[in-house]
Structure 1
Amino acid sequence: MALNNYMHPRNVYKTPPDFAKLAKIYPEFSSVTIMDVSGKVTIDFKDPHSLRILTKCLLKSDFGVDIEIPEDRLVPTLPLRLNYVLWIEDLLLAIKRNDNVWGIDIGTGACAIYPVLAATKNKWNMIGTETDPESLLKAQENIDRNNLSYFIKLSKNTTTSLVQYLLDSELGQRFDFCMCNPPFYSSIQELCESRNPSRHPPKNGFTGSPQELVTEGGELEFCRKLIDESKVYKDRIIFFTTMVGHKYNLKELLNDLASEGIKHTHTEFCQGRVTRWGLAWTYQDHDIYKLVPPRDKLRKKSLPIAYQLTELPNRPYEIETCSEKIKEILNELQIEKKILSKRGKSISMHIKALKNTWSHQRRKRRLLKRQEEQEAKRMRSDSSGVNESSQNESLEKLQRVVNSAININHNNNNGSILESQVTENNISACQEPILQAFLKIFKKDDAILCEIEYLDGNAGKEGLHQIVQYIKNNWK
């Protein structure tokens, strides 16, 4: 389902662009358009070249700037970028900051898209930082071509810090905000496994270079590093902000800020079929949560499943013990897990299932036992002259039956029982998960609780309830 209804109310792209009109104005855009049988003008959104031309022409049409987007760099999605800028506008308007605004864009990229939008739309003064020399060169060319050097300065970051190196060199300069669109992934494999099949196939083609998409520790560690640096420079920047690509990372970052008593708020950036999240925090006197409250409450929220974990026989009733037991059960179900954080009284993890291994366990066991008994009976009734090859053939048949029984799956959409088409041999490194969830084990008073929140996946919330029931059934 398209999410345009949840886009920022001031975003001009709430109403989709008129491609036919755009094609008449820009011949280069006309060259990549397609007309369907109904006469509607569109483009191939899976073609990076078409995306590049579309973004270039929209920037010309709606913002009056001529931006060159390198073929080997990320094509910025304008509705998303504009959502972020508009949210920062909301933060600044809430504290009546609208004159002589100064901002920092961490990792500005080859297009310097955030500084360009901020400067052309709001006349904000921006400093864009970048570690990649080639992207920095292209960004400067774009700024010079559009005569934006009065508003936008670029700074090459040769350090491992995010804002420290800049603030140490810009002595005395105070900024209203910093913003960043951090690389979402910690590795190419994580990038490959990131999309779940419950969503429609990707509408847009893949663009971006490794340095734009991957960073050590992924976006969670990147954002935590920014939080750490913000503590040192809390008097130099009013609002620290970042985009977040994974909801489970947003939850962890919200916990990080809350645990240290740092005032914060967050929002959803909805556009097309994509949701991202914005996170902002401040050390100033502003009650940021009340001034700009979270926007994700506009849509129906998924309430977590919470229940108490009972004591295990002959094992201490501790967070670590319960965590190890849950890991054992998840391993039985072949559910992947990633520890997000360990605090004194809580452990958080992201869990991901590639196939349904938890549904209809009794049915699987009964079927397996029946097939084994039938096969054993048939083998006993065979004549004593059965040769070894026949026995091997029978064993192979039994193994196929066992594998078939194990792979019985539940189709959430219509409630029917289907035989899974997934086997160990065809699970590729880039297989999409059928369920992702956020799991937290924490101590409250003298009890240890487990809280599991559905994130996405076509197994749905029903699949998550089945996993919870499996954990309960196999706890002791």
Structure 2
Amino acid sequence: MAPEKKFVSSKLNKFMHPRNPYRTPPSFKKLSMKFPEFRAYCTYDVSGKVHLDFKNPRAVRALTTSLLDQDFDLKVSIPDDRLVPTLPLRLNYLLWIEDLLTHAAHYDSEHFVLAIDIGVGAACVYPLLGAKRFGWCFVGTESDQLSFTSAHTNVQNNNLQDKIFLKKVESNIIFKDVIGEEKVKSWTLECKLRSKVDIAECSKKCAECEPQASQLNPQNEVNFDEGQVKAEIKKTEECSTYLYDFTMCNPPFFSCEEETDTMKKSKKDRGEPLSAPTGAIHEKVTEGGEISFITKMIEESQLFKDKIRIFTTLIGTKAHIKLIKNALSTASPSCSVLTEFCQGRTMRWGVAWTFDPSLKLNQVKSKKDMATNKPLILMMPRSLMSVYSVPSAWNMINKWLHHLKVKVQVLKSSKYFISVNVKAFKATWLHQRRKERQNMRRGVGASNGNMNIDGNNSEIIENGNGRSSKRKREAGAETCGDHDGEMMMKVNICTDRDFKTNRCSEAIPKNQSSLDCSLTSSHLGSPHSISVKEIPQNHSKQENLKLTQGKDKLQNLNKGKQERLESILRCNLQVKQSGALISLEAFYLGGSSGKDGLNQLLQFMRNQLAKPTV
């Protein structure tokens, strides 16, 4: 009697991409109530729980089409003898590419993206999801006539022909005869033109909604002309040779039909596949297997390195990774990166490479890579909290982060666990003790970072480097009362040991309005602020506020891009209770300051525990 195979649970789901909606499994009960075609393959136990036979290919097909309809509003039909895509893996791949575009290429959400999908399949799942969820445009290729017809029907049924162009190719075609083909070039030009039109119309509507902002800044008015937009696109193409932002591919894994039976080469303790195999033989088998296919893709990528910015592909077998890395090294790309896609009991790998020296693809890491990094741990003492609990500890930490003026996003919050994402754009945690000593010398409390103006007791002294100090009234100043306010007083600030040279500063005249002082100090160093000189004096405070808000709205895209460029530290903080103790775990994600920046942030928190100043 053969030994019973072990059942392996879906432990890889915890390493699924953080933005993948299928990290939480879908409700079969809701699907069965909403879609009769899915309900036909469901069974129910005595408790009312819904079960699905994954070894039935039709049941798997009904599940995929129902999820596409429910979660993405996509009407998709898949022929019986064609591959049924698993959505968690497809979304992991697309979300990883989105990370590459966002963090490596620094694209914002409004950036026009044009991609190539090699072998779209009958479902055309990657272009459909990419266009519907991310707004990307795709040129897709397909060699099988039945799959091409099915993919074309799915694009038409979802009214996405403006974002997806399909081309029938021969089986051995990857990039050649696709990028330079006249119909493809014409469609991509029209696609870019439509994108420019949409942006221009959106900007025009924003200008109409902000009449005051348009009057204040007439150069921001939009005068749209189709001929000008077309000329601008051609001019942009002349300056930038990149026609496509990325390519993607899910190549056939096997070199012969015998290899498709994975149980023959599986480990002895591995259980049988939960799902029935689907797909035609040409979708799973190619001459030389995926190694030969990807190697050819790498060779052709050198011919189009000035046309395509990022090349990507899936890898189905771990044993092939080393061979593919060796083939990639011969192409000498500027940068390459390997990642893992984890879903259910299945693991796949993705590789990306570029010849653009400005891209640092290795900045983007998979969740599994980040999870394997050991965190920095800070234990929270009982003595500093009246109530020793995770929420109380988080309130204390949140107060520190608010003082440091970092961006905080709460990811998960419960009674015993709180997880947040932190982004810092300045190293505000450095030199805190020095700043405290300077504030004490100037007579300003450590918790007060604003300049206070008091005409009876003190004056504001502002030196050349933008710092201000408070000069107390001298005992005999009353004898000079007649001259006070009529002359400027110069004071040498020599008491601060941190200054290497003496600096002179001039007193601000008393007749200067407090509004000018407060605006100048509050907007000092802000890259998106409006200075006092830019605001007309005949405007009321309310009008000035509206103008400021309008200007900020017009700069949202540039601001988001600038924040990504200036980010010096990105990390995840987790406050958790283990047994009777509460700890803070800090996971480094990225940033120009490196892990040293995270160590410095934790050191600031340790100093606050030892000697609170916030």
Q: TM-score, normalised by structure 1?
A: 0.61
Matches within 5 A, 1:401-420: none
Q: 1:96 aligns with which of 94, 106, 124?
A: 106
Q: Give the match for residue 559 of structure 2.
A: none
* Matched length: 301
Report if the CA contact (8 A) 1:265-1:294 is conserved: no
Quick check: 190-199 or 240-249, which moved more?
A: 190-199
Per-residue Cα deviation, 1:175-201 (whole angstroms, up to 9, x for no partner) = 000000000000001112454443222
Which deviations, in whole Å up to 9, do the C-alpha atoms of 1:107-136 show, x marking residues without a partner? Answer: 001110000000110110001100111110
Pairing of 1:301-380 with structure 2 (within 5 A): none
Q: CA deviation at 1:31?
A: 1.4
- CA distance change for structure 1 residues 197 and 120 in 2, over 3 Å: closer, same or farther? farther
Q: Which amino acid aligns with 1:187?
A: C
| Amino acid of the structure 2 residue aligned with 1:139 | A
Q: Contact conserved, 1:72 with 1:209, CA < 8 A, in 2?
A: yes
**Alignment partner of 2:152 out of 122, 129, 140:** 140
CA, structure 1 residues 57+27, in 2 after alignment: closer, same or farther (shift >3 Å)? same
Note the alpha carbon deviations across 1:366-390, whole angstroms, 9 max, x for none. xxxxxxxxxxxxxxxxxxxxxxxxx
Contact kept in structure 2, 1:108 and 1:114, CA below 8 Å: yes
Structure of larger gyration radius: 2
Summarize the Cα distance change of 1:159–1:19 in structure 2 as closer, same or farther, 3 Å threshold.
Answer: closer
Q: Does residue 177 in structure 1 map to residue 246 in structure 2?
A: yes
How far apart in 1 are the matches of 2:301 and 2:354? 9
- Mapped partners of 2:14, 2:87: distance in 1: 16
Gapped regions of structure 1 (runs ≥ 5): 302-476
Instruction: Name the CA distance, whole Å, in 2 between partners of 1:215 and 1:129.
Output: 16
Task: Please state if 1:281 is matched with 2:293.
Answer: no
Task: Choose which of 193, 196, 203 in structure 1 pairs with 2:274.
Answer: 203
- Determine the C-alpha separation between the residues in 2 that align with 1:289 and 1:126: 22
Matches for 1:162-311 after TM superposition, within 5 Å: 162-169=174-181, 170=184, 174-192=243-261, 193-262=264-333, 263-293=335-365, 296-298=368-370
Deviations 1:375-430 (A, max 9, x none): xxxxxxxxxxxxxxxxxxxxxxxxxxxxxxxxxxxxxxxxxxxxxxxxxxxxxxxx
CA contact (8 A) 2:121 2:148 kept: yes
Structure 1 letter corresponding to 2:69: K
**Alpha-carbon spacing, 1:194–1:238, altered in 2? closer, same or farther (3 Å):** farther
Paired amino acid for 2:247 = C
Aligned to 1:21: 30
Name 1:110's counterpart in structure 2: 122
Shift of 1:164: 1.5
| TM-score using structure 2 length | 0.47
The answer to which of 190-199 and 205-214 deviates more is 190-199
Match of 1:39 in 2: 48
1:68 is aligned with what amino acid? S
1:67 aligns with 2:76: yes
What SS is found at the alignment partner of 1:62? helix
Pair 206,290 (structure 1): closer, same or farther in 2 beyond 3 Å: closer
Return the letter of the residue paired with 1:283: F
Deviation, 1:219, is 0.3
SS for the counterpart of 1:164 is coil
Indicate if the aligned counterparts of 2:75 and 2:158 stay in contact, CA closer than 8 A. Answer: yes
Distance 1:71 1:126 in 2: 25
Structure 2 residue identity aligned to 1:30: R
Q: State how far apart, in whole Å, the 2-side matches of 1:222 and 1:63 are.
A: 31
1:138-174 deviations in Å (ceiling 9; x for gaps): 1001111111101111011126230111112155770
Aligned to 1:120: 132
Alignment partners' CA distance in 1, 2:315 and 2:175: 18
Task: Give the CA deviation at 1:298.
Answer: 4.9
1:290 partner letter = N
Residues 258 and 291 of structure 1: CA distance in aligned 2, closer, same or farther (over 3 Å): same
- Asked if 1:129 corresponds to 2:198, the answer is no
How far apart in 2 are the matches of 1:281 and 1:103?
A: 15
2:176 partner letter:
Q
Q: Distance in 1 between matches of 2:254 and 2:369?
A: 27
Q: Distance in 1 between matches of 2:48 and 2:34?
A: 18
SS in 1 for 2:115: strand
Which residue pairs with 1:458 in the alignment? none
Which AA in structure 2 matches 1:96? Answer: H
The separation in 2 between residues aligned to 1:158 and 1:12, in whole angstroms, is: 36
Counterparts of 2:269 and 2:332 in 1: how far apart (Å)?
36
Counterpart contact for 1:234–1:283, Cα < 8 Å:
yes
Partner of 2:434: none
1:86 matched to 2:87? The reply is no
Contact 2:17 2:367 in 1 (8 A): no
Q: CA deviation at 1:96?
A: 2.0
- CA distance 1:46–1:270, change in 2 (3 Å): same
Q: Which residue of 1 is the match for residue 62 of structure 2?
A: 53
Identity between Structure 1 and Structure 2 (%): 44
Match of 2:17 among 8, 28, 39: 8
Residue 259 of structure 1, CA deviation: 4.8
Offset at residue 293 of structure 1 (A): 3.2
Alpha-carbon offset, residue 41 of structure 1: 0.9
Task: Please state how far the C-alpha of 1:299 moved relative to its aligned partner.
Answer: 6.7
Aligned residues of 2:298 and 2:331 also touching (Cα < 8 A): no
> Aligned ranges for residues 433-472 of structure 1 at < 5 Å?
none
After superposition, give the CA deviation of every residue in 1:313-346 in whole Å (9 maximum; x if it has no partner).
Answer: xxxxxxxxxxxxxxxxxxxxxxxxxxxxxxxxxx
Q: Indicate how the Cα distance of structure 1 residues 96 and 198 shifts in structure 2: closer, same or farther if over 3 A, else same.
A: same
- Alpha carbons 2:18, 2:367 under 8 Å: kept: no
CA offset at residue 238 of structure 1?
A: 0.8
Give the 3-state SS of the residue equivalent to 1:105 in structure 2.
strand
Q: What's the offset of the Cα at 1:287?
A: 4.3
Distance in 1 of aligned mates of 2:283 and 2:77: 17
Given the superposition, is the C-alpha separation of residues 264 and 215 from structure 1 closer, same or farther in structure 2, using an over 3 Å criterion?
same
| Distance change >3 Å, CA 120–CA 217, structure 1 → 2 | same
